[in-house]
Structure 1
Amino acid sequence: MAWNVFKFCTGLKVVGSVMIVVVLAVVGVSYYAVVISIYAPQVIKGGSEAAVALIIVILFHVLLLMLLWCYFMVVFTDPGGVPQNWRPSPIEDLEDQTTALASTITPAAGLNMPTVPQGPLVRYCRKCSQFKPPRCHHCSVCGRCVLKMDHHCVWVVNCVGARNYKFFLLFLLYTFLETTLVTAAMLPQFIAFLSDVEEEAVHPGTLATMFLAFVLNLAFALSVLGFLIMHMSLVAGNTTTIEAYEKKASTRWRFDLGHKKNFEQVFGTRKLYWVLPMYTQEDKKKMTVLHGLDYPLRPDLGS
């Protein structure tokens, strides 16, 4: 009897719930180490170091607010599912073809299909028993098809797709900035710890928390930086993680409209909103890509 490993994918949801606790725990440790233990007391004490300490405290809170805002937007925003009874259009005699569907369908020659980004193939999901829009993929963890699916992220207990990809990227950005700030702020204490320099008596528990905060934030900063660079390169080419493995490197990607338009498809057209986990009402109405069903093609794409 064959062993289906995908039956255990739903267990990742439980792991993801634990990851939320881990994220909040790292935030709590960092807050205690940076704000409560070091820089807030320096602000209260005053003196020559108070101004720098105040700047660090303010930056820490601003970045933390943005980090948590983006994080929970990724967690609670539906990445996009296929609408019920969705049909690719226009396809003639579609109902007559459904009985012959396997994984894909090749429509009759000569059909005028100007907005079918996946080429001449109409895609069908056998697990969901429904047609799949362009750039849509089935998630074994969520148990459904996700619009413009990038990947399922256990850290956010959710898929990253058409409607929350921007929020995910901003979460990575603010996580990198916050962890870098904490690492830099904790560096003098870390050096003093390694050098056995003790200016004041510090409780062992506080010292351990400060050491843990430095190590964790340094590790997160380095790992998130690599992940952020990878995803920004995908945005520049208008490609998802899944598509990066599917497309042919020898040909230009059919969704690649140029760096500027590719970026706007994810972050919107208003520069003020690029750093915020939201879109303008105008973008929501005009940008069909945010709905996850239709995607413009390169103007030079041949037939």
Structure 2
Amino acid sequence: MPVERKELSDPLLGFTTDQRQSFLRSSNDSVMAWNVFRFCTALKGLGFLMILLVLGVVGVTYYAVVVTNYVPALIHAGGLDSLVSVGVLILFHALLVMLLWSYFSCVFTDPGGVPPNWRPTIDEEGGEADALNASEFSRLEPHSSGHKIRYCRKCGNFKPPRCHHCSVCGRCILKMDHHCVWVVNCVGALNYKYFLLFLFYTFLETTLVTLSLLPNFLVFFSDQEIHISPAALATTFMAFVLNLAFALSILGFLIMHISLVAANTTTIEAYEKRSSPKRCYDLGRMKNFQQVFGTDTVYWFLPAYTDEDKQRMPCLQGLEYPLRPDFDSEVS
């Protein structure tokens, strides 16, 4: 009887021992010197507790702004105060919708994983688009353009460009930026835009709340007569302090990520630039921006992409990235 042959899933099948060891050594070179999540696998246990915490902060803020302050002001006040209350309430709800839309898009969107049995398909040195075989692989380890085959020992798979292994998720993430405990997810190629929009709308929302609650917050330190209940005062105080703290902290993160997008790099790549100082993916600020937000200006501030952008921009899928035309000439 013929013996049934089982296909092995080892991506290094057919390679010599020297080639295997060489690929493993090269994969170690791309690992950060210190992995902050090495001893933090307990972060998985946080799960949706972080989501509940975020919703709790939103709930306290909503009660302080809408229920305690501006709806009563809209009902009892008149003239200019009513117009201000209407403006604050409309802007508050609009930003809240965009904030929650961006947040849950980031939470529930897979950041991008390496497709099963993925292998590099292009011999960049020879310019051929056929799948590489074992005998051809040795020619791709590092060559004139400075590229080399990357391999993950933990996943047992080859790693596409800009892909990194997440110790919390336990898999390789395409264009991994970082693992964020607030969204209970990795931030990678497929949800990086949503994460940035979450930061953007959260900063706008917390800034609006801070400014709108400031007059009521100052009542605590004045001799004015207070006309609301102690519970409402405590909620207003808590919402003001929380939103002020979030606004200041998120501003720093937002500035950092704006600079990363402008340079077409990630948090991990910025950390590793000591060993790879040349930014081969930097195509200019506008093209760098479009690689994250797409080319359709209508969708720039929405946590979504057009079908046209998904089809004509492979970088949005996390597997292929265009290089600077002068990159090969810069690498010695």
CA distance in structure 1 between the aligned counterparts of 2:36 and 2:266, rounded to whole angstroms: 24
| C-alpha RMSD of the superposition | 2.3
- Aligned partner (choices 135, 154, 160) of residue 187 of structure 2: 160
Question: Does residue 1:260 correspond to 2:291, yes or no?
Answer: no
**TM-score in terms of structure 2 length:** 0.81
Find the residue that maps to 2:140 and give its secondary structure: coil
CA distance in structure 1 between the aligned counterparts of 2:218 and 2:148, rounded to whole angstroms: 60
Aligned position for 1:240: 266
Aligned position for 1:134: 161
Tell me the amino acid that sits aligned with residue 256 of structure 2: M
Q: Which whole-Å deviations, capped at 9, do the CAs of 1:122-164 have from their partners, x for residues lacking one?
A: 0000000000000000000000000000000000000000000
- Aligned partner (choices 130, 137, 140) of residue 107 of structure 1: 140
Classify 1:199/1:300 alpha carbon distance in 2 versus 1 (closer, same or farther; 3 Å).
Answer: same
Find the residue that maps to 2:158 and give its secondary structure: strand
Q: CA deviation at 1:10?
A: 2.8
Gapped regions of structure 2 (runs ≥ 5): 1-34, 124-130
**TM-score in terms of structure 1 length:** 0.89
Q: Which whole-Å deviations, capped at 9, do the CAs of 1:150-188 have from their partners, x for residues lacking one?
A: 000000000000000000000000000000000000000
Q: CA deviation at 1:94?
A: 3.9
Aligned position for 1:15: 46
Tell me the amino acid that sits aligned with residue 322 of structure 2: P
Find the residue that maps to 1:131 and give its secondary structure: strand
Name whichever of 11-20 and 124-133 sits farther off. 11-20
Q: CA deviation at 1:45?
A: 2.2
Larger-gyration structure (1/2): 2
Find the residue that maps to 1:302 and give its secondary structure: helix
Matched-pair contact (CA < 8 Å) for 2:141–2:147: no
Question: Does residue 1:289 correspond to 2:315, yes or no?
Answer: yes
Aligned position for 2:306: 280
Classify 1:255/1:54 alpha carbon distance in 2 versus 1 (closer, same or farther; 3 Å).
Answer: same
Aligned position for 2:243: 217
Question: Does residue 1:185 correspond to 2:212, yes or no?
Answer: yes
Tell me the amino acid that sits aligned with residue 326 of structure 2: D
Q: Which whole-Å deviations, capped at 9, do the CAs of 1:268-303 have from their partners, x for residues lacking one?
A: 001111100001110010010011000000011125
CA distance in structure 2 between the aligned counterparts of 1:229 and 1:7, rounded to whole angstroms: 27
Q: CA deviation at 1:16?
A: 4.4
CA distance in structure 2 between the aligned counterparts of 1:191 and 1:43, rounded to whole angstroms: 20
Q: CA deviation at 1:110?
A: 7.1
CA distance in structure 2 between the aligned counterparts of 1:254 and 1:198, rounded to whole angstroms: 63
CA distance in structure 2 between the aligned counterparts of 1:268 and 1:47, rounded to whole angstroms: 45
Map 1:40-51 → 2, pairs under 5 A: 40-48=71-79, 49-51=81-83
Question: Does residue 1:72 correspond to 2:72, yes or no?
Answer: no
Q: Which whole-Å deviations, capped at 9, do the CAs of 1:6-28 have from their partners, x for residues lacking one?
A: 67533212224221111101100
Matched-pair contact (CA < 8 Å) for 1:16–1:155: no
CA distance in structure 2 between the aligned counterparts of 1:5 and 1:223, rounded to whole angstroms: 20
Matched-pair contact (CA < 8 Å) for 2:120–2:132: no
Identity in percent: 64
Find the residue that maps to 2:40 and give its secondary structure: helix
Classify 1:154/1:51 alpha carbon distance in 2 versus 1 (closer, same or farther; 3 Å).
Answer: same
Q: Which whole-Å deviations, capped at 9, do the CAs of 1:230-280 have from their partners, x for residues lacking one?
A: 000000000000000112499541000000000000000011111000011
Q: CA deviation at 1:5?
A: 9.2
Find the residue that maps to 1:31 and give its secondary structure: helix
Q: CA deviation at 1:106?
A: 6.8
